[in-house]
C-alpha cells in the first residue's frame, strides 16, 4: 500500500507507514472495515472515523526509532493527545514493553518546564497502586523534551471502550465496577496530596483484562501555558470540569469527584 504522505511503498495489511509513520488505513470502530487513509467516514457503514484519525501520528513529524541513547526501541506509535505523544517501546535494559510519552512543552519557558518535571516526579512518588498507571522513568530527551515512561496498558483507554457498544453505553454493572476501581486509585492519590485535575475517559487506561488505571496526574495544570503570564485561567477538559476549576478557583480533591461523576453519567 503506497503512503499518501511520503509515497513509501508498504506491504499490505499495515496500519502505519514504514517511511514516515503516517496512518495507512482507518479501521472502522463499528464494522471493522479498513478504509483508505484520510477517510473521515467509513465507506462501508458511514460511521465517523474521527477517533481513529485523532490517533494518527502527525505527518509533519519524523518517525523516531529509539529514545534515550537507544535504550527504548520504538515498536510502534500509539497515539497523540493534548499533553503527550506516546509510543510503544521496548526497554532493552529491563527487557519489557513500556509506554514512552514525549511531553509537549512547545511554548513553555524554563519555569513551565520545571513545573512539568515536578508534576512528573510527583506521579513517580505515588509508587505502585492497582488503579494508577505506574511511572517507571522520567527525564529529558536529547533535544530538551521531557519524557515519561509508564507501564504499557494493552487494553487501551475507557474512551475507546465506549466506542464498542452500539449505543456507546456500558452495562450498569460494568460502569459501576469501573468507577469503584477508579475511586480506589483517586483515594490513594488524594491521600498522597496529588489531584488529577483532568479526569476523563481518555485519561483512564485499561489493562489487557480490563482493569482501569488513572494516568497523567497533574499534567493538565503543569502544561497550562496561560498560567505563565495570567492568573485565573481554566485548565482541563470542559465536559468534565467542575465549576471552581472553570472559574480559575482553588482545586481540591472534590474536583476529581465531580469529573468522575460526569464520567459515570457518560458511561451509563
Report, as an integer, the average pLDDT of 208-229: 68
Q: Please report, rounded to a whole number, the percentage of residues in the chain having pLDDT higher than 90.
A: 36
Q: How many angstroms separate the CA atoms of 62 and 6, rounded?
A: 11
CATH classification code of 66-151: 3.30.200.20
Query: What CATH number belongs to 158-267?
Result: 1.10.510.10
Residue 158 pLDDT: 94
Q: What is the pLDDT of residue 251?
A: 83
Instruction: Quote the pLDDT of residue 246.
Output: 80
| Predicted TM-score of the model (pTM) | 0.68
- Average pLDDT of the chain is 78
pLDDT at 229: 38
38: left (phi over 0), alpha (psi -120 to 50) or beta: left
Q: 10 Å Cβ neighbour count for 130?
A: 13
Give pLDDT, residue 128: 86
Instruction: Inform me whether the pLDDT recorded for 235 exceeds 60.
Output: no
C-alpha torsion 221→222→226→228, nearest 10 = 130
| Residue 59 predicted with pLDDT over 50 | no
What's the pLDDT at 230? 41
Q: What is the pLDDT of residue 2?
A: 62
80 or 50, higher pLDDT:
80
Domain residue ranges of the chain, discontinuous segments joined by +: 1-58, 66-151, 158-267
Q: What was the pLDDT predicted at 244?
A: 84
Q: Please give the residue that has the higher pLDDT: either 84 or 40.
A: 84
Give 10 or 90, the one with higher predicted confidence: 90
Residues 84-104: tens digit of each pLDDT: 899 999 999 999 999 999 988
Comparing 66-151 with 158-267, is the CATH topology the same? no
166 in catalytic set: no
Give the separation between CA 51 and CA 48, rounded to whole angstroms. Answer: 8
Cα separation, 218 vs 262, in Å, equals 19
Query: For residue 195, which of 117, 119, 108 has the smallest C-alpha distance?
Result: 119
Contact (CB, 8 A) for 35 and 42: yes
pLDDT score of 55 more than 50: no
Cell output for 63: 518517525
Out of 198, 216, 224, 256, which one is annotated catalytic? 198
CB atoms within 10 A of CB 161: 20
Res 60: pLDDT = 40
Cα–Cα distance measured from residue 263 to residue 72, given in angstroms and rounded to the nearest whole number: 34
- The 10s digit of each residue's pLDDT in 152-203 is 999 999 999 998 887 888 999 999 999 999 999 999 999 888 888 889 998 8
233-253 mean pLDDT = 77
SS3 133: coil
Amino acid at each position: 500500500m503506497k503512503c499518501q504522505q511520503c509515497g513509501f511503498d508498504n506491504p499490505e495489511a499495515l496500519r502505519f507507514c514504514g517511511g514516515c509513520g503516517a496512518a495507512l488505513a482507518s479501521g472502522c470502530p463499528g464494522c471493522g472495515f479498513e478504509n483508505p487513509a484520510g477517510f473521515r467516514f467509513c465507506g462501508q457503514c458511514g460511521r465517523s472515523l474521527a477517533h481513529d484519525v485523532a490517533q494518527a501520528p502527525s505527518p509533519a513529524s519524523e518517525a523516531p526509532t529509539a529514545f534515550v541513547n537507544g535504550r527504548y526501541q520504538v515498536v510502534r506509535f500509539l497515539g497523540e493527545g493534548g499533553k503527550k505523544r506516546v509510543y510503544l517501546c521496548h526497554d532493552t535494559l529491563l527487557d519489557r514493553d513500556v509506554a514512552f510519552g514525549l511531553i509537549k512543552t512547545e511554548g513553555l519557558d524554563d519555569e513551565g518546564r520545571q513545573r512539568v518535571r515536578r508534576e512528573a516526579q510527583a506521579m513517580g512518588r505515588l509508587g505502585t497502586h492497582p488503579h494508577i498507571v505506574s511511572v517507571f522513568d522520567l527525564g529529558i530527551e536529547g533535544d530538551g523534551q521531557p519524557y515519561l515512561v509508564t507501564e504499557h496498558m494493552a487494553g487501551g483507554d475507557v474512551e475507546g471502550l465506549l466506542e464498542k457498544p452500539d449505543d456507546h453505553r456500558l452495562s450498569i454493572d460494568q460502569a459501576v465496577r469501573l468507577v469503584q476501581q477508579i475511586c480506589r486509585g483517586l483515594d490513594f492519590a488524594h491521600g498522597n496530596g496529588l489531584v488529577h485535575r483532568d479526569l476523563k475517559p481518555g485519561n483512564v487506561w485499561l489493562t489487557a483484562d480490563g482493569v482501569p488505571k488513572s494516568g497523567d496526574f497533574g499534567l493538565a495544570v503543569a502544561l497550562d501555558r496561560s498560567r505563565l503570564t495570567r492568573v485565573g485561567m481554566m485548565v482541563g477538559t470542559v465536559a468534565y470540569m467542575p465549576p471552581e476549576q472553570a472559574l480559575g478557583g482553588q482545586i481540591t480533591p472534590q474536583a476529581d469527584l465531580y469529573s468522575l461523576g460526569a464520567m459515570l453519567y457518560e458511561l451509563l
